Structures are given as C-alpha cells and as structure tokens.
Amino acid sequence: QWVKVRERLRVEVGDVEYRTWLQQIVLGPLEEDEITLFLPTRFLRDWVRGQYGDRLQELWRNENRAVHHVELQVQRVGDALAAPVAVEAAVPAVEIEAPVAQVASVQDARHDLAAPLDPRFTFDSFVVGKPNEFAYACARRVAEKPSSPGFNPLFLYGGVGLGKTHLMHAIGSELTSGGRVSVAYMSAEKFMYRFIAAIRSQSTMEFKEQLRSVDVLMIDDLQFLIGKDNTQEEFFHTFNALVDAGRQIVVSADKSPSDLSGLEDRLRTRLGCGMVADIHATTFELRISILEAKALASGVAVPAKVLEFLAHKITSNVRELEGALNRLIAHANLFGRSVTLESTQDVLHDILKAHDRRVTIEEIQRKVSEHWNIRLTDMSSARRARAVARPRQVAMYLAKQLTSRSLPEIGRKFGNRDHTTVMHAVSRVQELMERDVAFAEDVELLRRMLEG
C-alpha cells in the first residue's frame, strides 16, 4: 500500500519535489485507524505536514479504508533503524528505506531551477481586448527587447485567472525559442521552497549564483511572499543584483505594488520603478472573443448563442470560462452530439448554478414593473393588455437570460403559466429587439441594472 501511495504522490508532485521533500519518509506502524510516517527532521515533518498532509491522508484512505489518520513524526535515521522490531510487529509488510542523504536530493533540485513553460501559453493564443491590451503590449515589448529602459522590471497585476501566468509564459517561450537567452520562470512559492531547500543543504551560495546567472527572471504570484520576510529579503537582493547587471525581471501579483501591503517598502518601491501594467476584469466583448478563439481551435462547432450565453453567465475569470467551454466540447466529442443552448444548460448545470448572479426572478419582476410603470401583481395576473403583457414578456426573457431557472420554473413564478408561454415570450422579445432599437435599448438597460 505504501508503495502505491508513494508512487501516486510522486506522479502528482513530480520527481524533483518528491525527491526534495517526500523521499525520506519512512513507513511506521499502523495502529487501529492511524498510520505513522517518520521523517528525519522537524523541519521536514512540518513541511510535509503543511504541504502534503491532507493529500497523504486521502491517498492512504483510498488504498486502505481503515486508515483515518496519518500521523507524521520525527525520527532520526538511527532511531528508525533502532526500532525496527516494534515497527515490524505492528505492520507485517513494512519496508524500511534508508533515507537518502539530504544534500543529494537538493542537488537534483538545483538542476531544475526554473519551472517548465506551458507551450499552450503563447502570444498567439492570447486574445487581446481593451482590458488586457496594455499588459499584452508591455509583455510583447519585453519579449522583443528585454531590459529596455522603462520596462524593467515589468510588473503585471490583476485578479485571478485573467492571464498573468499566460503572458509570462509567452514572454519566456518567445525568448527561449531564439535559444540565446536564459530564462528562469517560477512561482514565488517555488522560489521560497528552493531558497529554504538551499539553506537546509547549505548551498545558498550556489542557489544565488544560479539565480543571478539568468538573463530574465520571472516570479509569478509575488503576493505569496507577504509575511515571508527572509525570502523577501533574498528576493530583494537577487532582484537588485539582476537589475544592476542589466537583466530583465518580470513579476506578477494580484495587486499593484503600492497595494501589496505586507511587502517591504523598499521592495515595493523598486517593483514600481519600471513598467506597471494592470490586467482589468474581462468585458463581455473580450469574453466572446476568447470563447470564439477557443471554440475555433477545438474544432467543435459551438453556436454563437451558446457563446453569448456563457459570456453572460460566467463573468468571473477566463479560467472558469475556459473550463466551462472545455467541458461542453469534451461532452460533444464524447457523445458525438452537437452543442445547443439546451445541452449547454444541462451539461453545465452545476457551474451555471454557482455563477448565478443571484438575480432573483422577483427582483427582475420588480425592476421591470417599475420601468414600465405597471403594478407588480400584473406580472402574475391574467391581464393580456399589451401595456401589461409586453413588460411581462420582457421579465420572462430576462429571467431566462439572467438566472439558471428552467422554463417551467419561470412559468410558475409568473402566475403559473405554462413553459411554452415562457418560450414564446423569449422568442417574441428577441424578435422585437431585432426590429425595434429603442425597445432593445430598454431591455439592455434593464439587464445591466439587474446584473449590477
């Protein structure tokens, strides 16, 4: 079982991380529902507990239902070997693996200074629109001419899933494709692991030298260093050494340098010295362009209506938008069926529910009746006069667009009307919007108000 758990972990975290942190784990006894694992130092024990504790527990449970808890304990090499009898008594098939010398494992890590670049994240696959055009232009510029005055450091910031990592990888790929430039890209988190591993193996000098030998250093998600004072300090020195030597630095974070409180002042100041580029939240237009590009690349025909629907519903970030589209495409490929609005709502039911902007049908009814000055009760009344029926249809249309309620559910909220009535209302409103610009503007205005 332990062999299996270890192998799974190795596959999940990759060889380097595995060797650096996990290889030295020694299997201890299984008692009742608790399995004990030994690590040679407290440092490693705490680290493994913090980083991999939950996952270890899950993996063990998958292998052996009886295991409810994984206990991590410190046991030095000598101790482990001194107590094999007790261990063996508890678990018959125990293996005692001699921990590998620490220095050796970190040396391996050193060869792998930079994380690999994702080949999918290129400038070509990045869709440019108003919210990201400035950041995109800066990234391109740095990729063309690293270390140009005014662009060093390049600081990219913006919310989650808006393309920061994508742009950094694109810079890296562009620069390394020429072959002559050495680029190191890593997350701030990785930077910290590496730094700590170097301290532990007393190889900080090599670590520093290696970092300072690159032409371009890119550190992703710098906000991770908040509160990690020693690592910040180290990064600050590396940063200065590189900039002084005319090398390019690219950094990303979720906030602007001035808003990254918790970073040392002098570091913040230096980060803001070059080019600071903000990636703004996506607009509807950008979301549509991104969806179109990704749908095209997938080779699956996705109707424009579906793309619009997704762009309306999933506004948080590109990653989620992409995730939703990928699921649709996978589904279409798997079942050989074409994508329709109905199948979309079905396949993405859970995602859409989570993204419901929690606009309620009641809210829609209220806003629409206020807008056309009719009584709220007329939303569910039987009156069919145009002055009442038209707003009611608009409200149904908006309910369909802005919530993930089904047609029958919507019908029920409008005085128990049938789902075909709702369907008719939706298509009627669409028709009118195409023919009557003023009406279309009214509806769009209402939609925007409701979306907040």
Enumerate binding residues for ligand ADP (CB under 6 A): 121, 125-127, 132, 158, 160-166, 290, 318-319, 322
In angstroms, what is the minimal distance from the CB of 121 to ligand ADP? 6
Q: Which of 249/318 has CB closer to ligand ADP?
A: 318
Residue that the structure tokens 């030295």 belong to: 24
Nearest CB to ligand ADP, comparing residues 23 and 132? 132
Residue 219 or 368 with smaller CB distance to ligand ADP: 219
> What 3-state class would DSSP assign to 116?
coil
> Which of ligand ADP, Mg ion, none does residue 217 bind (CB under 5 to 8 Å by kind)?
none
Q: Report the DSSP pairing between strands 216-220 and 34-39.
A: unpaired
69 forms bridges with which residues in the sheet?
Answer: 34
Q: State the helix-helix crossing angle for 188-200 and 229-244, rounded to 10 degrees.
A: 100
Number of residue whose CB is nearest ligand ADP: 163
The values of phi and psi at residue 30, to 5°, are: -105, 120
Residue nearest to Mg ion (CB): 165
Dihedral in degrees, nearest 10, Cα atoms 330, 336, 338, 343? -60
Q: How far is the CB of 158 from ligand ADP (least distance, A)?
A: 6
> Residue 117 — φ and ψ, nearest 5°?
-90, 140
Q: Which partner from the list Mg ion, ligand ADP, none does 172 bind, CB cut-off 5 to 8 Å by kind?
A: none
Burial bucket for residue 430 (CB in 10 Å: 0-12, 13-18, 19+): middle
3-state secondary structure 265-277: HHHHHHHCCCEEE
48, 72 in Cβ contact below 8 A?
yes
290 binds, among Mg ion, ligand ADP, none (CB under 5 to 8 A by kind): ligand ADP
CA distances from 105 to 8, 18, 79, 312, 419 (A): 19, 9, 21, 49, 65
The identity of residue 436, as a single letter, is: D
* Minimal distance, residue 293 CB to ligand ADP, in Å: 7
Near Mg ion in 117-146, by CB under 5 A = none
Instruction: Report the site for Mg ion in 324-353 (rule: CB under 5 A).
Output: none
Nearer to Mg ion, 165 or 232 (CB): 165
Least gap, CB of 34 to ligand ADP (angstroms)? 38
For ligand ADP, the closer of residues 321 and 425 by Cβ is 321
End-to-end CA distance of the chain: 53
State which residue, 146 or 158, has the beta carbon closest to ligand ADP. 158
User: Which residue number, 290 or 295, has a Cβ lying nearer to ligand ADP?
Assistant: 290
Q: Which two structure tokens, joined as six digits, stand for 179? A: 């072959």
Distances (CA, A) of 3 to 16, 62, 92: 18, 13, 14
Q: Which is nearer to Mg ion, 19 or 164 (CB)?
A: 164
Which of ligand ADP, Mg ion, none has residue 132 at its interface (CB below 5 to 8 Å by kind)?
Answer: ligand ADP
- What is the smallest separation between the CB atom of 140 and ligand ADP, expressed in angstroms? 13
Closer residue to ligand ADP in complex, CB, 136/414: 136
Tell me whether residue 318 or residue 394 sits nearer to ligand ADP (CB atom).
Answer: 318
CB atoms within 10 A of CB 42: 10
CB of 276 to ligand ADP, least distance (A): 15
CB nearer ligand ADP, residue 46 or residue 118:
118
Rounded to the nearest whole angstrom, what is the least distance from the CB of residue 351 to ligand ADP in the complex?
15
Q: Which does 162 bind (CB under 5 to 8 A by kind): ligand ADP, Mg ion, none?
A: ligand ADP
Buried b (16+ CB within 10 A) or exposed e, 179-212: eebebbbbbbbbbbbbbbbbebbebeeebbebbe
231 binds Mg ion (CB under 5 A): no
Q: Measured from the CB of residue 187, what is the shortest distance to Mg ion in angstroms?
A: 8
Q: How far is the CB of 246 from ligand ADP (least distance, A)?
A: 27
Q: Residue 156 binds which one of Mg ion, ligand ADP, none, with CB within 5 to 8 A depending on kind?
A: none
Measured from the CB of residue 115, what is the shortest distance to Mg ion in angstroms? 12
Strand partners, 220: 187
- Give me the sign of the Cα torsion angle 395, 401, 405, 407: positive
The least CB distance from residue 104 to ligand ADP, in Å, is: 34
Interface characters, 154-193, with Mg ion (x: CB under 5 A): ----------xx----------------------------
Q: What is the 3-state secondary structure (H, E, C) of 71-91?
A: EEEECCHHHHHHCHHHHHHHC
**Contact 450/436 with Cβ under 8 angstroms?**
no
**Which residues lie near Mg ion (CB under 5 A)?**
164-165
